[in-house]
A and B are shown apart, each in its own frame.
Chain A
Amino acid sequence: MRHALVLGLAAAISAAPWQQAAAQAADPTAAEFDKFREIMEQDNPAELFEAKGEELWRARRGPKNTSLEQCDLGLGAGVVKGAYAQLPRYFADVDRVMDVEARIVHCMMTLQGFKYEELAKQPFSSPVRTPEPVSLATYVAAQSRGMKIAPPQNHPKERDAYETGKAIFHYRAGAFDFSCASCHGEDGKRIRTQPLPNFTKPATAIAAVQGWPGYRMTGGVMHSLQWRLNDCYRQQRFPEPGYASETLSALLTYLTVNASGHVYRGPGIKR
């Protein structure tokens, strides 16, 4: 009797990690939502913002009345195809690592003469207004559809950004004593019905990148990764990091490098 009990316990303990992984994969709510998203992805309104972004990219705008067609996204001036799959990366002209939105904002400032203060005033989308960098980021991201995510880690500053991002990810503070890792640092967690992917492991870190920028069905709003991270900080009751700041670029470097090797499916659709 006692033996059987001990054996039973041992079996339960050794089965635990497997059961956890299976529970996450077979979560019926998540599976149903995946089906729903697959249907929605066929006609994703993100395409409307992609088209808007392309128009903005080519249009002569701003105080300098120029287009963004000379903007260097890392693969040379004006090269958009495949650039997103290799961001964030180091840019020598600013001597820092930039993610896609930070780079677009930089190009809007240097090429078109926009002011950072104007762009950072209301940088996130609302039902009535989609900021230009969001549409532009959607356009740029869409040009890397089907490509492998491969942000470079060659320059010392790129490796630096990864380590900084990792430290930020694990830094606990704020009113709730939370870090990003509190929710996204282990397997099998969820918030309400939403599974919380583990961003520290390559297999699941892709969830931080896939589907972004994303069209959110609730409210019908196009959102960028800058918004997503900012909203995570708001939910943590953490001071929100500056728009297009090095902090967010570093955090995005950490998340994107962890997701390296996965195929990017293009701008997505969110619940």
Chain B
Amino acid sequence: MADPMKIRATLQGDVADVRVLMAHPMETGQRKDAAGKIVPLHFIQTITAQLNGKTVFNADVSQAVSRNPVFAFKVKGAKAGDKLSITWQDNKGDKRTDEVVIGAGS
């Protein structure tokens, strides 16, 4: 079900500016549907970024984060051609991994 992420990684010197856009409903567990029933919690719990297979960024995320969230962070020591992969996992066990090559003009 998970749709692809949009990952942008641009190099400034040896620092990669990474911006990730994720497609996720991020249900808070407080919203009610048209029938008045509570929509169950459904949110991204962990995000991991790996540069050439080495973890460089780890995040625990709560249901307070908006639907279709954006994450931005910087990675030191990145070079053009490095592989950056981002993985998220939600509380239902759903997972998605996308990869970009830094400096490939994405």
Task: Mark A residues whose CB is within 8 Å of B.
Answer: 42-43, 45, 47-48, 51-52, 127-128, 215, 217, 219-220
Contacts and interface: CB of A to CB of B under 8 A. Distances in A.
A51 B4 contact: yes
Contacts of A48: 3, 6, 21, 23, 68
A51 B7 CA distance: 12
Contacts of A215: 68
Contacts of B4: 51
Interface of B: 3-4, 6, 19, 21, 23, 25-26, 31, 33, 39, 66-68, 70, 72
Tell me if A's interface is mostly helix, strand, loop or mixed: loop
Contacts, number: 35
B3 A127 contact: no
B67 A127 contact: yes
A43 B19 contact: yes
A51 B67 CA distance: 17
B36 to A, nearest CB: 15
20 contacts: A43-B72, A45-B21, A45-B67, A45-B68, A47-B6, A47-B21, A48-B3, A48-B21, A48-B23, A48-B68, A51-B4, A51-B6, A127-B25, A127-B31, A127-B67, A128-B25, A128-B33, A217-B66, A220-B26, A220-B66
Contacts of A43: 19, 21, 70, 72
Given A45-B21, A127-B25, A127-B31, A52 B3 contact: yes
A48 B6 CA distance: 7
